[in-house]
Structure formats: structure tokens, C-alpha cells
Amino acid sequence: MSARQALYVYQDSIWLYDVKTNKTRQLTQGGTVSMPKWMDANHLSFVQSGNTLRIVDLKASTTTDVFTAPGGIQAYGWSPDGGTVAYIETDSSSYPHLRYRSISDGATQSVATLARAPGRGVSQFDDLRIQYANGGAYVLVVYTPADGDSSVPPDQSQFQVRGADGSLAFSVAMSREPTMGLFSRDGKTVYFMDSGGVRAWTASSGSTRTLRKTNWFNPWQSPDGSKIAFDSGDFSTKVRVRVLDLRALTVVTVSKPGRARPVFAGPHSLWAQAVTPCPGACDGPVFGAVFLIDTVTKAERALPMQSLQDVDVFYS
């Protein structure tokens, strides 16, 4: 299984990259757009103006509004059957609210209020994700970092797993600074980072174990589920891409310095974006060209994609 098409955001527009033709095309124009996600090979969703979820039919060239959240849509994820969207909406006091919305009738379930989270976006430990497990039994909720302390109750944790019915299945204490989480391809395990390193929670047993005493950022699992690519932190121009083998629990560096935001393109290849010094009066490094990296030979070549911001990949 390999990448066929990718969606990403570049200069306030959503773009599509076709792997076979090695060409890109612009899908949206005007306004602020974010978080494009594949629904199937012909349909995608995205957030317009920060608060309206829209669906695009690529074959019919039509766009449909799904709903608008007055407090904005900070993150969202679709159930595998496309019948429910889980999302986070914030209030005027910066409290994030997790909600489930039925697409058929618009019924909305208020699931949880998370720890207050003002001033996001200033730390490389920031992460924002809503992800349904394969099968739809669980929903991963990551909204970090949050203020507060270890006295915050589990159901308000910045990192938690909810059942499809809204019940709390798992959470990590905020004192452990959990972040950078994702579900395994089979939906049985959540991988994440906290103060103890890279860890894994197993849904069937409810147990948590440490995989490696290391940090990871921007993790992305391979299509077959055997590996996770990550970077060492894109706030530095020395950032490098590494790959964790989930069977052997070994880590291999696969890029030169200055590569981040890894995305698996195939069994032995991934995309990554260059991180370069700021050329003028700005804070920190900036993102540059996108490269295809051979994880075996470490060779790379430039791609026509301009960015890996908000990237989502359709594999087949």
C-alpha cells in the first residue's frame, strides 16, 4: 500500500498532489481554510473560516456545508462510517469542548470539557488531534498544551480516549505532559509521548507501556502499521527524521539535518519538509521545499508539493 494522493494547505488554499502524475493542483481559493481530510477517493472535508465544516465532491466539483460551530472548529475527525463527526469547539474563556455530531439529523452530544488551553501555538509540544480508531469504537482526543495542574480530573485531561458513546476509556495526567498521539492502523493501540518517553496504551487490556525513552514530534505511521516516522522537533534547523520499528523497537535516522514533518509515502519512502534558517526579521526557522526520501539509501529528491501543513494522505 502506498500514497496515491495528498491534501495539504499552502498560502490559505487547499492543494492536491497526485503521486502518479507528480503534479499539484489548487482546490480552493479565497478565505481561510484548514484541516483537509479524505473521506474516500472522491470526497474530502475541510474547515472554512475557522468554524464551518464543508465537504467537496471532486467528481461533481461541488461543495456542501455540513455545519457551523459558533465557537470555531479547532479539530475534528470522522467516524469510519462517515455518520458522526467528533470536534472541539472553544468558548470565550478558552475552554475546549468535545462534541459528537450526527450528520443525518444534526443531533449534537456534549461529551466533555477539557482543561483550559489559551495561547496555543508557541511550543513544539503543541498537538491537536481528533482521531477515530479503525472500527469506530474509540476516539483519541489531543488538545495540548493546557494550563492547570495535576489536580485536574481525568475527564478534563488534555490527552484522553473516549468511547463512541462518550464514556472515558483512558486519560493521561497533565503532570506527565502528554502529547503527540495517534491510533495504530488497526485501532487497538494509542502511541504517544509524555515525560516518560514514547509510550503505548492498549485498548483491550487498558495497560500502558514505555516503548523508548525518547521524544518524538509529528509522528506518522506507515501504511502497514509496522513503523512510525517522526522528527526530533521542528523548532530547530538541526531537526532530523527518524523511524521507529514497532516490532524491534529500534530507531533509525533516515534524513539529513533540516528535515521535518515526515509522512510515509510507501513501505520504504517518505515525504519530509525542509526546515531552514529565517532569512529576515522573524522568530525561529521557516519551512521550505518538500522532499521524497528513500528510507533505505537515505537519498532524496524534491517534489512539487509546496508544503506538508495539515497534510492528509489517501493510500491504496
Render pLDDT for 146-204 as a digit per residue (tens, 0 to 9): 665 667 889 999 899 999 999 999 999 988 989 999 999 999 999 999 999 999 999 99
pLDDT 10s digits, 104-143: 999 999 999 998 877 666 678 889 999 999 999 999 999 9
Q: 0.85 cut: is pTM over it?
A: yes
Distances in Å between the alpha carbon of 312 and those of 166, 204, 220?
Answer: 26, 28, 11
How is domain 69-215 classified at the CATH fold level? Answer: Methylamine Dehydrogenase; Chain H (2.130.10)
Please determine, for residue 289, whether its predicted confidence score (pLDDT) is greater than 90: yes
**pLDDT for residue 94:** 86
Q: Where are the domains of the chain?
A: 1-42+223-316, 69-215
Q: What share of the chain is helix, strand, coil (3-state, %, to 5)?
A: 0, 50, 45
Please determine, for residue 53, whether its predicted confidence score (pLDDT) is greater than 90: yes
C-alpha cell at 49: 473560516
Q: Are 13 and 310 in contact (CB under 8 A)?
A: no
